[in-house]
Structure 1
Amino acid sequence: MSAVTRSILADGRELLYFDDAGAAQRIPVPDTRDLAARPEPGELRYDELTGDWIAVAAHRQSRTHLPPAEACPLCPSSPSFASEIPDPDYDAVVFENRFPSLGPVLAQLPDPLAWGETVPAAGRCEVVSFTSEHAGSFAALPYQRARTVIEAWAHRTAELSALPGIRQVFPFENRGAQIGVTLHHPHGQIYAYPYLTPRAAQLAEAARRHFDATGGAQALLGALLERERADGARMVLEGEHFSAYVPFAARWPIEVHLVPHRQVADFAGLTGQEKDELAEAYPRLLRCLDALYDTPTPYIAAWFQAPLDPVLRPAARFHLQLTSPRRAADKLKYLAGSEAAMGAFINDTRAEDVAASLREVMRTAAR
């Protein structure tokens, strides 16, 4: 198990160090920066046309954007620069975002909110730095560090799920300038939403319908996994606890789902053996994406966890949806009229071809 050490930044934000298993007990360095008070939360507006909540976070316009390495806020602090991490070294770290889309207030949202009214943008946004090294990627992490980050995801999922008003916890990583990252340092984020997001609601409601139709005997994602494994054409890897495949109706040019073999709600529900395998399988998938072309592939790693709603939660299964807009070495897919306006995806690649390419990359890497 990794060691967890709590600290507080100069403006009152929480910071947690996650050190690799076997590391010495950390005594955190105090944050002595003269920081301004935390900004007031943004606002939430309710869209009656769609039933969606919209977060307005105008204060994020001033957030740090692609700074040089010597001014990176995720690198350890040095005598010449005080970053967001006061210690001179660390393994992995999680802290409250200085420019959050949601929070720091926590509250139960009204249902619904009247037109023309707003409420503070409740919730919590955290940054997860995977390593103290400025260059690199999650795919390049040693096994033990990947395992530590998975423990961090599980720890934060459990704690954030227990906060007042939180309905969904979403760990994710945006990688690559084409995706819109604002920091090059290898990192991800965790959003704790006070509402169920549209995409999560769509998946959870489909899962609940299937669950009810089978009398609670089968989860939808479990059924899809069984079909993909039986067919084999879109499988990428199969392990003891997890399997990965390109879904039959993939939306994105590159899309891989990494799914546990048993019904589990979130990171916090994984066993030690499942976490061990995930720490090997997930970076392996990322390395395959990067090996498809001569340059690294931009991606979004979206960890779908069961919503906290007691009706929807039993039917939903934890899984990863790993997607990239890269449709060729020198081409990206942009969401234009059909996708952006209608939500009707048109894919430029066949799922079977993408899976075959990933399997070939995986075989080549194993030689």
Structure 2
Amino acid sequence: MRKTSRRMADGREIIYFDDTEPYVSGAAVRQAEDTRPLPSAEEVLKGGAQVRYDPLTGEWIAMASHRNDRTFLPPADQDPLAPTVPGGFPTEIAEADYDVVVFENRFPSFSPRNGGSASFVDGDPLWPTRPADGRTEVVCFSSAPKGSFGGLHPRRARTVLEAWADRTAELGGQPGVEHVFVFENRGREIGVTLPHPHGQIYAFPFVPPKAARMLEMARQHRDRTGGNLFRDILEAERRAGTRIVTVGEHWTAYVPAAARWPVEVHLAPHRDVPDLPALTDAERDDLVRIYLDVLGRLDRYHPGPEPLPYIAGVHQAPVRQGRDLFRLHLQVFSVLRAPGKLKYLAGVESAMASWISDTTPERIAARLREVG
């Protein structure tokens, strides 16, 4: 694989990860110029996004009003993630072809270009605020106009995994970044506005609430038992066996005992690993195999031709804290509880974060084994 970094017309970085010739050997190089008349990346931020502290929950809330202007369901011939072909629509990717590409989001939730400094809303110390620093990136899995990670050839999926690991390591080394989250959304039901096969990476300037909560639970578990919570959960699931979906040499896929979504699967490594960069080549190969297997099962979960809408996330250890407690794992879940029927997060779930499942984890796992 060959990595090439370039700059877009507005100053954003774009990175090509090539796994095919003539680029992988260096016989050809990525040198197309982005000539679009774009405003600078700093100008798009319109004074800078910020995060504000919610004293009721202890959470940071990002305020990014410039994102209201982002691209929404464009015509097929104006796909901003497609290659730029001669005489065609000028896209985010200046090259006429590509394998895997990563670039800074044009409408970022977090960006190193935010100006300003820490202060208080209305000058009141009750509400601290600071620039929404960090970085937001788009990961294009393929130049194909439609699809998702599950439709990739294993070799291409491995390249995407290498890009994820590369970006995790690089973003985690940037000043002010506290957590790197890799994810893919699929389906309009999830809110996807571009059908092009892609995902995103958020480099947070804080540890987001779910990661912080898992870290705290892991800390309490160690204080109470001396064990690693993530490892103990995996070992308990493997002992029970009733919710196991599939097992590889280095990874196990299972439905968690307290699954909250209509369809939910976790993938955990057999070794204590904090993040993607720490995986060995053999572990990366096995992750690609088992992940593609699970995604295929999810597409067959409900009868009918419609692909399953889902959110897939890579949960990694925070950059600076709790790395001895946290354990890398992937989570894939769907809001589709039955064909044509979505699980809406209404009163108790949205207002009180108290979850009610419409099925059982054992039924989910049984169905996923059945369609394997």
TM-score (norm 2): 0.93
1:12 matches 2:15: no
1:357 matches 2:367: yes
- Residue in 2 aligned with 1:326? 336
Cα deviation digits, residues 249-278 of structure 1 (max 9, x gap)? 001010100000011111111111111111
Cα deviation digits, residues 82-110 of structure 1 (max 9, x gap)? 10000000010000000001113379996
- Residue in 2 aligned with 1:222? 231
Task: Give the residue type in structure 2 aligned to 1:99.
Answer: F
For the Cα contact (< 8 Å) 2:16–2:98, is it kept in 1? yes
- Residue in 2 aligned with 1:34? 37
- Residue in 2 aligned with 1:72? 79
Unaligned runs of 5+ in 2: none
Unaligned runs of 5+ in 1: 363-367
1:230 to partner: Cα distance = 0.8
3-state SS of paired residue (2:282): helix
Map 1:272-311 → 2, pairs under 5 A: 272-293=281-302, 294=304, 295-310=306-321
- Residue in 2 aligned with 1:88? 96
3-state SS of paired residue (2:371): helix
1:360 to partner: Cα distance = 0.7
Task: Give the residue type in structure 2 aligned to 1:220.
Answer: L
1:21 to partner: Cα distance = 6.3
For the Cα contact (< 8 Å) 2:299–2:308, is it kept in 1? yes
For the Cα contact (< 8 Å) 1:298–1:325, is it kept in 2? yes
- Residue in 1 aligned with 2:260? 251
1:158 matches 2:169: yes
- Residue in 2 aligned with 1:337? 347
Over 3 Å counting, the alpha-carbon distance change for 1:112 and 1:339 in structure 2 is farther
Q: CA RMSD in A?
A: 1.8
Over 3 Å counting, the alpha-carbon distance change for 1:354 and 1:203 in structure 2 is same
Cα deviation digits, residues 165-219 of structure 1 (max 9, x gap)? 111000001100000011110100000000111111111111122233344xx32
Instruction: Give, in whole Å, the separation in 2 of the partners of 1:301 and 1:127.
Output: 15
1:187 matches 2:166: no
For the Cα contact (< 8 Å) 2:14–2:103, is it kept in 1? yes
TM-score (norm 1): 0.94
For the Cα contact (< 8 Å) 1:64–1:182, is it kept in 2? yes
Task: Give the residue type in structure 1 aligned to 2:49.
Answer: G
Task: Give the residue type in structure 2 aligned to 1:27.
Answer: R
Q: Point out 4+ residue stretches in structure 1 off by more than 4 angstroms.
A: 106-113
For the Cα contact (< 8 Å) 2:297–2:371, is it kept in 1? yes
For the Cα contact (< 8 Å) 1:21–1:148, is it kept in 2? no
Task: Give the residue type in structure 1 aligned to 2:15.
Answer: L
Instruction: Give, in whole Å, the separation in 2 of the partners of 1:214 and 1:240.
Output: 28
For the Cα contact (< 8 Å) 1:173–1:189, is it kept in 2? yes
Give aligned pairs, total. Answer: 358
Over 3 Å counting, the alpha-carbon distance change for 1:54 and 1:109 in structure 2 is farther
3-state SS of paired residue (2:194): coil
1:54 to partner: Cα distance = 0.6
1:201 matches 2:217: no
For the Cα contact (< 8 Å) 1:235–1:244, is it kept in 2? yes
3-state SS of paired residue (2:324): helix
Instruction: Give, in whole Å, the separation in 2 of the partners of 1:324 and 1:161.
Output: 29
1:104 matches 2:115: no
Cα deviation digits, residues 291-342 of structure 1 (max 9, x gap)? 11212000000110001233x2210000011110111112110111111111
